[in-house]
A and B are shown apart, each in its own frame.
Chain A
Amino acid sequence: MSDILRYFRQDMLPHIWCPGCGHGTVTGALVRAIDKLGLSKNKVCIVSGIGCSSRAVGYLDFDTVHTTHGRAIAFATGIKLARPELTVIVMTGDGDCAAIGGNHFIHAARRNIGITTIVMNNNIYGMTSGQYSPMTPKGMYGTTAPYGNVERSFDLCELAKASGATYVGRATSYHVPLLIDLIHSALQNKGFSVVEAISQCPTYMGRKNKIGGAVEMLEWIKDGTVNVKAAAALGSEKTKGKILIGELHNAPESEYTADYDELIDRVQRKYDKFQGGLYGCASNSD
């Protein structure tokens, strides 16, 4: 425990999360994965957007950026491209990532930039008190879905995969060892990695949908998911409607900032004589 505490800014505690919120569990899993990898705290940078989930970075003792709503991945893109040697992690919510930040998400995946994105998916907008999100299942309730949500929800992992992410996994705040393992693997993938962490929001999701408190929500999460390996054996009948958890995609490819560094090498070799040649082809130089 004390080992884990050293990753936290203890002067920032207590945190703002409601009793029973799953976001702390996910944050704990991230820290444990970082610890397992033995990364230096000075070389890890964690970026978030806006939302309950995005508050996580304030509690963590690294270089941290709490950015604007939906833009964490874009800020992180600048950090990673400017300093590729840093381990860059994004912590985001389902609204932050899949709604307002959706475009940055798919483009970061397409580029395969070396950022590990952890999506804390509580299926609802927690910070603004319970509106439906692009991850709220059809038919469930939110304050802006008082008659049940008529929209379909995303499968964020499929979206990540289709957009080009090279590592994709899903776990939950119930399946903590799995979550730690997935984050641990994601951090080792050189390209764009996504770990969706299903997390419970008893205050809004639980109440609005009469699921109950944190314990009942964790049971609801457990019952609603099935490990991808077990699913194969169980057959489609038994796994119908269940959300797959586990490692869903692992297909390493060359990473964007490494490719860009290669481009710099190539260009600099070609323009060997380009010393202080700030003004381009200074043909009229006197």
Chain B
Amino acid sequence: MAKTVKLMQGNEACTIGALAAGLEFYAGYPITPSTEIAELCAEELPKVGGKFIQMEDEIGSIAACIGASLTGKKAMTATSGPGFSLMQESIGYASLCEVPVVIIDVQRMGPSTGMPTSLAQGDVMQARWGTHGDHPVIALAPGNVRECFDLTIRAFDLAETYRVPVIVLSDETIGHMREKVVLPDPSEIRSVRRAAPSSPAGYKPYAAEEDGGVPLMAPFGEGYRWHVTGLFHNEAGRPTNSGEVADKLLRRLSRKIEKNADELADYAAESLEDCEIAVVSFGSSAMSGLSAVRRARKEGVKAGMLRLKTIWPFPEKAVAELAKRATRVIVPEMNLGQIALEVERVVAGACPVQRLGKVNGELFRPEEVYAAIMSAARGDDAAGAGRAAGEAR
């Protein structure tokens, strides 16, 4: 078992994770701070017989990935906010048509062109609700370089298992940060492939158990001759205008995720057992948050950290559990309160939730989160605690 020890960047780790998961196709359009992923795919994919294409835009990129996935290939694209926005229509298509695809969104400051090289985590809600209509989606947020590797592999596994688009919600700091990582031997990585039918006879492309079942997916070019359409469709894949069929379809799609919420929930907890001041965060903000929590502990404050690795579906149980003991939940994030909205929904008034939003493009300094924790420990109200945290409001 040969482990590999390397100094690498988050974006590099995402790419290597994708290759380890069996990536066969990449289509993308360059955008900071994600571009290294495209560059590395262009270099590495041909070596393993895979395909890379630089499309004319992100709309085309996601479309090409979906097309490749229909032939049975594992496909991925990477982008940042502006490109992620352009992909939304076809992300909905992949959701409805149940085509596995992985999208890495290395978040930068927006809206619009924003500050292209600066850190933000403003795409949390876009990842969930960016496309129109109710639709299933999964989003994972790596919190360090090694997790870029792990969660990209997991993204492929989940995309293939549930036949949904999976978004890896990275950010500028995680993507560009270099860390020493120890990677497992490639032979230890067991990646999943979508379940396929065994014969075209009687194949119904969308036949599945009503309560969140996942249909079998046939690759194109193998005699199944099935129809894929973004119109609502019945089990045979034929378009329908029946409200009843549509209702059943949308509920099945949504149950695919709901039903498996426990398996999908993924997070790292530190010192939550007896924690009174809980910090809930993700991605790069959680790095500063964790350092603050540890320092507060040393000062005798019962602080704890819940770092979300799965963002969507939102890990409700873990958050509800911590709210039972906590006297305050602090949510540091590089936006003006997106994950905080979910935390507030789940905590449902059990204790105050303090938004610690930051939108100046600079990573949280641990002191900023530390100040908020200490102020909460003193019993300042949430607004006061926000002021104590200085610029991090």
**Inside 8 A of A103's CB, which chain B residues have their CB?**
56-57, 60
Residue in A45, A58, A64, A267 whose CB lies within 8 Å of B46: A267
* Interface flag for B145 (CB, 8 Å): no
CB under 8 Å from chain B, chain A span 52-83: 57-58, 61-68, 71, 74-83
Q: Which residues of A sit under 8 angstroms from B55, Cβ to Cβ? A: 74, 77, 107
Contacts A58-B239, A74-B64, A81-B68; A42 near B225 (Cβ below 8 A) = yes
Q: Which residues of B contact A277 (CB under 8 A)?
A: 47
Q: Does B259 contact A (CB under 8 A)?
A: no
B231 interface hit (Cβ, 8 Å)? yes
What is the CB-to-nearest-CB distance from B235 to chain A, in angstroms, rounded to a whole number? 13
Q: Indicate if the CB atoms of B24 and A82 lie closer than 8 Å.
A: yes
Residue interface mask B44-88, A partner, CB < 8 A = 1: 101111010101110111011111111101010000000000000
Interface string of B195-223 (1 = CB under 8 A from A): 00000000000000000000000001111
* Residues B227 and A45 in contact, CB atoms below 8 Å apart: no
Are B63 and A83 closer than 8 Å at their CB atoms?
A: no
The answer to whether the Cβ of A207 comes within 8 Å of any Cβ in the partner chain is: no
Tell me the interface secondary structure of chain B in the complex.
mixed
Within 8 A of B (CB), among A181-197: none
Q: Are B6 and A78 in contact (CB under 8 A)?
A: no
CB-defined contacts of A43 to chain B, threshold 8 Å: 221
CB of B229 closer than 8 Å to a CB of A: yes
A74, B60: Cβ atoms under 8 Å?
yes
Q: A82-B51, A83-B221 are in contact. Are A77 and B60 (CB under 8 A)?
A: yes
Residues from chain A with Cβ under 8 Å of B49 in the complex: 264, 268
> What 0/1 readout, one digit per residue, does chain A (1-37) give for beta carbons within 8 Å of chain B?
0000000010110000000000000000000000000
Q: What residues of A have a CB within 8 angstroms of the CB of B183 in the complex?
A: 279
Q: Is the CB of B65 within 8 A of A78?
A: yes
Q: Which residues of chain A are within 8 angstroms of B227 by Cβ–Cβ distance? A: 9, 57-58, 64-66
Task: Give every chain B residue within 8 A of A12 (Cβ-Cβ).
Answer: 238
Residues of the A chain whose Cβ atoms lie less than 8 Å from the Cβ of B225: 41-42, 61-64
Chain A interface size, as a band, is 35 or more
Determine whether the beta carbon of A285 is less than 8 Å from that of B2.
Answer: yes
Q: Which residue of A lies closest to B186 (CB)?
A: A278
Chain B interface size band reads 35 or more
User: Is A65's CB under 8 angstroms from B70's CB?
Assistant: yes
Q: Are B25 and A78 in contact (CB under 8 A)?
A: yes
CB distance from A165 to the nearest CB of B (A): 15
Minimal Cβ-Cβ distance residue in A for B75: A78
Known interface pairs A42-B221, A68-B93; A78-B64 also in contact (CB < 8 Å): yes
Q: Taking the nearest CB of chain A, how far is it from the CB of B225, in angstroms? A: 6
Complex formed: what's the CA distance from A116 to B222 in Å? 20
Determine if B267 is an interface residue (Cβ-Cβ < 8 Å): no
Residues of B within 8 A of A86 (CB): 71, 220-221
Q: Is B16 touching A78 in the complex (CB atoms < 8 A)?
A: no
Are the C-beta atoms of A263 and B46 separated by less than 8 Å? yes
Q: Give complex CA distance A274, B19 in Å.
A: 13
Q: Are A82 and B71 in contact (CB under 8 A)?
A: yes
CB <8 Å contact, B67 and A47: yes
**What residues of A have a CB within 8 angstroms of the CB of B73 in the complex?**
82
Q: How far is the CB of A136 from chain B (nearest CB, A)?
A: 24
Contact residues in A for B3 (Cβ distance below 8 Å): 285-286
A142 CB → nearest B CB, Å: 25
Mask, B21-46, CB within 8 Å of A = 1, is 00011010000000000000000101
Asked whether, in the complex, the Cβ of B228 is within 8 Å of the Cβ of A104, the reply is no
- The answer, yes or no, to whether B4 is at the interface (CB within 8 Å) is yes
**A77-96 vs B, Cβ < 8 Å mask (1 yes, 0 no):** 11111110110000000000
A280 at the interface (CB under 8 A from B): yes
- A283 nearest CB across to chain B (Å): 8
Please, could you name 27 A-B residue pairs with CB atoms under 8 Å apart, sorted by A? A42-B225, A57-B227, A58-B227, A58-B229, A64-B228, A65-B67, A65-B227, A66-B229, A66-B230, A66-B239, A67-B90, A71-B59, A75-B66, A77-B27, A77-B64, A78-B70, A78-B71, A80-B67, A83-B221, A86-B71, A260-B51, A267-B46, A278-B16, A280-B16, A282-B6, A284-B5, A286-B3
Closest 9 CB pairs of A and B: A78-B67, A78-B64, A74-B63, A74-B60, A82-B68, A66-B229, A78-B68, A75-B67, A79-B67
Residues of B participating in the A interface, judged by any CB pair closer than 8 Å: 2-6, 16, 19-20, 24-25, 27, 44, 46-49, 51, 53, 55-57, 59-61, 63-71, 73, 75, 89-90, 93, 183, 186-187, 220-231, 236, 238-239
> Which A positions have Cβ atoms within 8 angstroms of B?
9, 11-12, 41-43, 45, 47, 50, 57-58, 61-68, 71, 74-83, 85-86, 103-104, 107, 260, 263-264, 267-268, 271, 274, 276-280, 282, 284-286
Q: A57-B227, A78-B69, A80-B67 are known contacts; what are 19 more A-B pairs with Cβ within 8 Å?
A: A11-B236, A11-B238, A63-B220, A66-B239, A67-B90, A67-B230, A74-B67, A78-B65, A78-B71, A82-B68, A83-B220, A83-B221, A103-B56, A278-B19, A279-B16, A279-B186, A282-B2, A285-B3, A285-B4
